[in-house]
Amino acid sequence: MAPVIETKNLNKSFKDFKAVSDLSFSVNKGDVYGFLGQNGAGKSTTIRMLAGLIFPDNGHVFIKGQELHNNTRHLLQHIGAIIERPDMYNYLSGWDNLKIFASLSNKKIPNTRLHEVLELTGIADRRKDKVKAYSQGMKQRLGIAIAMVHDPDLLILDEPTNGLDPQGIAEMRKLILHLSHDLGKTILISSHLLYEIEHVANRMIIIHKGKKMVEGIVGDLLHPGDTLIQVSMLPDTDVAGKLAGSAWQVYVHEHTSSAITFKMDPAQVPQLNQWLVQNGMQVLEIKTKHLLEEYFISLTNDAAAKD
Protein backbone atom coordinates (compact mmCIF):
# COMPACT_ATOMS: atom_id res chain seq x y z
CA MET A 1 0.00 0.00 0.00
CA ALA A 2 1.30 3.45 -0.94
CA PRO A 3 2.04 5.91 1.88
CA VAL A 4 -0.64 8.53 2.52
CA ILE A 5 2.06 11.20 2.05
CA GLU A 6 5.36 10.68 0.30
CA THR A 7 7.82 13.39 -0.65
CA LYS A 8 10.81 12.83 -2.88
CA ASN A 9 13.71 15.27 -3.03
CA LEU A 10 11.66 18.40 -2.36
CA ASN A 11 13.44 21.70 -2.92
CA LYS A 12 12.08 25.21 -2.42
CA SER A 13 13.89 28.54 -2.47
CA PHE A 14 12.74 32.12 -2.00
CA LYS A 15 15.21 34.27 -3.96
CA ASP A 16 18.59 33.39 -2.40
CA PHE A 17 17.14 31.61 0.64
CA LYS A 18 16.97 27.80 0.47
CA ALA A 19 13.94 26.93 2.63
CA VAL A 20 13.72 23.19 1.83
CA SER A 21 16.58 21.09 0.52
CA ASP A 22 16.28 17.60 -0.99
CA LEU A 23 13.65 16.58 1.56
CA SER A 24 12.19 13.06 1.40
CA PHE A 25 9.91 11.39 3.95
CA SER A 26 6.75 9.28 4.14
CA VAL A 27 3.63 9.19 6.30
CA ASN A 28 1.77 5.87 6.50
CA LYS A 29 -1.94 5.26 6.92
CA GLY A 30 -2.94 5.68 10.58
CA ASP A 31 0.22 7.55 11.59
CA VAL A 32 0.32 10.49 13.93
CA TYR A 33 3.46 11.87 12.36
CA GLY A 34 5.45 14.52 14.20
CA PHE A 35 7.09 17.14 12.01
CA LEU A 36 9.78 18.87 14.06
CA GLY A 37 12.29 21.63 13.56
CA GLN A 38 13.37 24.95 14.99
CA ASN A 39 11.81 28.18 13.74
CA GLY A 40 12.99 28.73 10.19
CA ALA A 41 13.77 25.04 9.64
CA GLY A 42 11.36 24.80 6.70
CA LYS A 43 8.33 23.20 8.37
CA SER A 44 5.68 25.69 7.23
CA THR A 45 7.12 25.83 3.71
CA THR A 46 6.93 22.03 3.48
CA ILE A 47 3.39 21.97 4.85
CA ARG A 48 2.31 24.58 2.29
CA MET A 49 3.67 22.32 -0.44
CA LEU A 50 1.79 19.34 1.00
CA ALA A 51 -1.44 21.38 1.00
CA GLY A 52 -0.96 22.54 -2.59
CA LEU A 53 -0.60 26.20 -1.62
CA ILE A 54 2.85 26.49 -3.17
CA PHE A 55 4.75 24.17 -5.48
CA PRO A 56 8.31 22.89 -5.12
CA ASP A 57 11.05 24.18 -7.38
CA ASN A 58 11.76 20.53 -8.02
CA GLY A 59 10.94 17.23 -6.38
CA HIS A 60 7.61 15.49 -5.89
CA VAL A 61 4.69 15.29 -3.45
CA PHE A 62 2.54 12.17 -3.60
CA ILE A 63 -0.80 11.86 -1.79
CA LYS A 64 -2.15 8.30 -1.63
CA GLY A 65 0.19 7.31 -4.43
CA GLN A 66 -0.80 10.11 -6.83
CA GLU A 67 1.34 13.13 -7.60
CA LEU A 68 -0.24 16.25 -6.09
CA HIS A 69 0.90 18.60 -8.86
CA ASN A 70 -1.02 16.61 -11.48
CA ASN A 71 -4.15 15.90 -9.41
CA THR A 72 -4.41 18.86 -7.05
CA ARG A 73 -8.17 19.42 -7.10
CA HIS A 74 -9.01 15.74 -6.69
CA LEU A 75 -6.42 15.00 -4.01
CA LEU A 76 -7.23 18.03 -1.87
CA GLN A 77 -10.64 16.47 -1.21
CA HIS A 78 -8.77 13.93 0.93
CA ILE A 79 -6.91 16.57 2.95
CA GLY A 80 -8.00 18.80 5.82
CA ALA A 81 -5.48 21.37 6.97
CA ILE A 82 -4.83 24.13 9.47
CA ILE A 83 -1.94 26.25 8.23
CA GLU A 84 -0.60 28.37 11.10
CA ARG A 85 -3.51 30.16 12.83
CA PRO A 86 -6.82 29.56 11.06
CA ASP A 87 -8.31 32.67 9.43
CA MET A 88 -11.99 33.16 10.25
CA TYR A 89 -14.74 35.75 10.06
CA ASN A 90 -14.62 37.18 13.58
CA TYR A 91 -18.01 38.92 13.40
CA LEU A 92 -19.84 35.77 12.31
CA SER A 93 -20.78 32.86 14.55
CA GLY A 94 -18.85 29.62 14.69
CA TRP A 95 -21.75 27.93 12.90
CA ASP A 96 -21.76 30.49 10.08
CA ASN A 97 -18.00 30.20 9.67
CA LEU A 98 -18.26 26.44 9.43
CA LYS A 99 -21.12 26.67 6.93
CA ILE A 100 -19.17 29.08 4.69
CA PHE A 101 -16.09 26.88 4.62
CA ALA A 102 -18.21 23.77 4.05
CA SER A 103 -19.73 25.45 0.98
CA LEU A 104 -16.24 25.85 -0.50
CA SER A 105 -15.68 22.10 -0.68
CA ASN A 106 -16.68 20.08 -3.70
CA LYS A 107 -19.08 18.03 -1.60
CA LYS A 108 -22.65 18.78 -0.58
CA ILE A 109 -22.36 18.75 3.21
CA PRO A 110 -25.57 18.47 5.25
CA ASN A 111 -26.19 20.38 8.48
CA THR A 112 -26.02 17.08 10.36
CA ARG A 113 -22.32 16.88 9.46
CA LEU A 114 -21.75 20.43 10.72
CA HIS A 115 -23.34 19.48 14.04
CA GLU A 116 -21.24 16.31 14.13
CA VAL A 117 -17.86 18.07 13.77
CA LEU A 118 -18.83 20.77 16.29
CA GLU A 119 -19.71 18.05 18.79
CA LEU A 120 -16.49 16.22 17.95
CA THR A 121 -14.36 19.29 18.65
CA GLY A 122 -16.29 20.25 21.78
CA ILE A 123 -17.67 23.63 20.73
CA ALA A 124 -21.26 22.75 19.78
CA ASP A 125 -22.67 24.67 22.75
CA ARG A 126 -20.91 27.85 21.55
CA ARG A 127 -21.80 27.52 17.87
CA LYS A 128 -24.08 30.60 17.90
CA ASP A 129 -21.49 32.89 19.50
CA LYS A 130 -19.41 35.22 17.35
CA VAL A 131 -15.87 34.00 16.78
CA LYS A 132 -14.44 37.24 18.18
CA ALA A 133 -15.66 36.03 21.60
CA TYR A 134 -13.84 32.68 21.30
CA SER A 135 -10.70 31.90 23.23
CA GLN A 136 -7.61 30.88 21.25
CA GLY A 137 -8.31 27.25 22.15
CA MET A 138 -11.85 27.48 20.80
CA LYS A 139 -10.58 29.06 17.59
CA GLN A 140 -8.14 26.19 17.18
CA ARG A 141 -10.95 23.71 17.74
CA LEU A 142 -13.15 25.50 15.21
CA GLY A 143 -10.21 25.35 12.79
CA ILE A 144 -10.09 21.59 13.20
CA ALA A 145 -13.88 21.40 12.72
CA ILE A 146 -13.46 23.32 9.45
CA ALA A 147 -10.62 21.02 8.38
CA MET A 148 -12.75 17.98 9.26
CA VAL A 149 -16.10 19.05 7.80
CA HIS A 150 -15.62 17.23 4.47
CA ASP A 151 -14.44 14.07 6.31
CA PRO A 152 -10.88 13.87 4.92
CA ASP A 153 -8.61 10.87 5.36
CA LEU A 154 -5.60 13.06 6.13
CA LEU A 155 -5.25 15.99 8.54
CA ILE A 156 -2.32 18.40 8.39
CA LEU A 157 -2.08 20.50 11.55
CA ASP A 158 0.49 23.28 11.69
CA GLU A 159 1.16 24.25 15.33
CA PRO A 160 -2.33 23.31 16.61
CA THR A 161 -1.39 24.05 20.24
CA ASN A 162 0.11 27.46 19.47
CA GLY A 163 -1.05 30.06 22.01
CA LEU A 164 -2.91 27.58 24.20
CA ASP A 165 -2.67 27.35 27.99
CA PRO A 166 -1.76 24.00 29.64
CA GLN A 167 -5.40 22.90 29.86
CA GLY A 168 -5.97 23.80 26.22
CA ILE A 169 -2.85 21.85 25.22
CA ALA A 170 -4.06 18.79 27.13
CA GLU A 171 -7.49 19.02 25.49
CA MET A 172 -5.93 19.36 22.03
CA ARG A 173 -3.75 16.32 22.72
CA LYS A 174 -6.83 14.32 23.69
CA LEU A 175 -8.66 15.44 20.54
CA ILE A 176 -5.75 14.48 18.27
CA LEU A 177 -5.52 11.02 19.84
CA HIS A 178 -9.30 10.57 19.45
CA LEU A 179 -9.12 11.53 15.77
CA SER A 180 -6.32 9.01 15.26
CA HIS A 181 -7.29 6.07 17.45
CA ASP A 182 -11.09 6.21 17.24
CA LEU A 183 -11.74 7.76 13.83
CA GLY A 184 -8.76 6.32 11.98
CA LYS A 185 -7.43 9.62 10.63
CA THR A 186 -3.86 9.95 9.44
CA ILE A 187 -2.39 13.09 11.00
CA LEU A 188 0.74 15.11 10.29
CA ILE A 189 1.34 17.53 13.14
CA SER A 190 3.94 20.28 13.23
CA SER A 191 4.78 21.70 16.62
CA HIS A 192 7.51 23.53 18.52
CA LEU A 193 6.19 21.91 21.73
CA LEU A 194 8.38 18.85 21.49
CA TYR A 195 6.99 17.31 24.66
CA GLU A 196 3.54 17.17 23.04
CA ILE A 197 4.87 15.37 19.96
CA GLU A 198 6.50 12.79 22.22
CA HIS A 199 3.08 12.05 23.72
CA VAL A 200 0.95 11.85 20.56
CA ALA A 201 3.18 10.78 17.65
CA ASN A 202 4.13 7.24 16.69
CA ARG A 203 6.54 8.37 13.93
CA MET A 204 8.46 11.60 13.43
CA ILE A 205 10.98 13.55 11.41
CA ILE A 206 13.37 16.27 12.57
CA ILE A 207 14.54 18.79 9.98
CA HIS A 208 17.19 21.49 10.21
CA LYS A 209 17.67 24.25 7.63
CA GLY A 210 15.31 22.42 5.28
CA LYS A 211 17.19 19.11 5.47
CA LYS A 212 16.17 15.85 7.09
CA MET A 213 18.19 15.02 10.18
CA VAL A 214 16.41 11.85 11.27
CA GLU A 215 13.13 10.01 10.64
CA GLY A 216 11.66 6.96 12.30
CA ILE A 217 9.47 5.39 14.97
CA VAL A 218 9.41 7.54 18.10
CA GLY A 219 9.91 4.55 20.39
CA ASP A 220 12.99 3.45 18.44
CA LEU A 221 14.53 6.92 18.41
CA LEU A 222 13.87 7.50 22.11
CA HIS A 223 15.28 4.41 23.80
CA PRO A 224 13.43 3.72 27.10
CA GLY A 225 16.68 2.86 28.85
CA ASP A 226 17.92 6.38 28.18
CA THR A 227 14.97 8.13 29.83
CA LEU A 228 15.91 10.81 32.38
CA ILE A 229 13.89 10.47 35.59
CA GLN A 230 14.08 13.54 37.84
CA VAL A 231 13.30 12.99 41.53
CA SER A 232 12.68 16.05 43.69
CA MET A 233 12.75 15.63 47.47
CA LEU A 234 13.25 17.42 50.76
CA PRO A 235 16.97 18.25 51.22
CA ASP A 236 19.02 15.29 52.46
CA THR A 237 22.68 15.86 53.18
CA ASP A 238 23.49 12.14 52.92
CA VAL A 239 22.14 11.51 49.41
CA ALA A 240 25.55 10.43 48.08
CA GLY A 241 26.11 8.09 51.02
CA LYS A 242 22.74 6.42 50.65
CA LEU A 243 23.20 5.91 46.93
CA ALA A 244 26.77 4.60 47.23
CA GLY A 245 26.86 0.84 46.90
CA SER A 246 23.16 0.58 46.08
CA ALA A 247 21.79 -1.04 42.93
CA TRP A 248 20.60 2.41 41.80
CA GLN A 249 24.04 4.06 41.82
CA VAL A 250 24.77 2.93 38.24
CA TYR A 251 21.71 4.83 36.99
CA VAL A 252 22.56 8.17 38.60
CA HIS A 253 22.99 10.91 36.01
CA GLU A 254 23.44 13.80 38.45
CA HIS A 255 22.38 14.69 41.97
CA THR A 256 22.20 17.43 44.57
CA SER A 257 20.91 17.36 48.14
CA SER A 258 17.33 18.02 46.90
CA ALA A 259 17.16 16.36 43.47
CA ILE A 260 18.46 13.26 41.72
CA THR A 261 18.31 12.53 38.01
CA PHE A 262 18.49 8.89 36.97
CA LYS A 263 19.04 7.59 33.43
CA MET A 264 16.94 4.45 33.25
CA ASP A 265 13.85 2.65 31.97
CA PRO A 266 10.61 4.26 33.29
CA ALA A 267 9.34 0.76 34.15
CA GLN A 268 11.80 0.77 37.06
CA VAL A 269 10.35 3.89 38.68
CA PRO A 270 7.97 2.13 41.14
CA GLN A 271 10.84 0.07 42.58
CA LEU A 272 13.08 3.15 42.68
CA ASN A 273 10.46 5.16 44.53
CA GLN A 274 9.99 2.36 47.08
CA TRP A 275 13.74 2.21 47.70
CA LEU A 276 14.04 5.99 48.14
CA VAL A 277 11.25 6.06 50.73
CA GLN A 278 12.60 3.03 52.58
CA ASN A 279 15.95 4.80 52.84
CA GLY A 280 14.47 7.89 54.43
CA MET A 281 14.35 10.20 51.42
CA GLN A 282 11.15 12.27 51.38
CA VAL A 283 10.09 12.28 47.72
CA LEU A 284 8.11 15.32 46.56
CA GLU A 285 7.88 14.64 42.82
CA ILE A 286 9.04 12.21 40.16
CA LYS A 287 8.88 13.30 36.53
CA THR A 288 10.28 12.36 33.14
CA LYS A 289 12.45 15.02 31.60
CA HIS A 290 11.75 16.04 28.00
CA LEU A 291 13.75 13.45 26.15
CA LEU A 292 12.62 14.48 22.71
CA GLU A 293 13.64 18.06 23.38
CA GLU A 294 17.12 16.97 24.46
CA TYR A 295 17.41 14.66 21.45
CA PHE A 296 16.23 17.44 19.14
CA ILE A 297 18.65 19.99 20.61
CA SER A 298 21.59 17.61 20.39
CA LEU A 299 20.85 16.86 16.72
CA THR A 300 20.39 20.47 15.68
CA ASN A 301 23.39 21.64 17.70
CA ASP A 302 25.56 19.02 16.01
CA ALA A 303 24.24 20.11 12.62
CA ALA A 304 24.87 23.77 13.40
CA ALA A 305 28.44 22.99 14.45
CA LYS A 306 29.06 21.35 11.07
CA ASP A 307 27.61 24.26 9.07
pLDDT of 296 reads: 67
Angle (CA) 254 257 261, round 5°: 25
Can you give the pLDDT at residue 157? 94
pLDDT at 185: 96
In the three-class reduction of DSSP (H, G, I as helix; E, B as strand; rest coil), residue 89 is classed as coil
* pLDDT lower than 50: segments of the chain: none
Which pLDDT score, from 0 to 100, does residue 56 have? Answer: 95
CB 150 within 8 A of CB 110: no
| CA 144-149-151 angle, 5° bins | 105
Task: List, in order of start, the domains of the chain with CATH numbers.
Answer: 5-219 (3.40.50.300), 224-292 (3.30.70)
pLDDT 10s digits, 49-73:
999 999 999 999 999 999 998 888 8
pLDDT of residue 258: 86
Tell me, what's the pLDDT at 298? Answer: 67
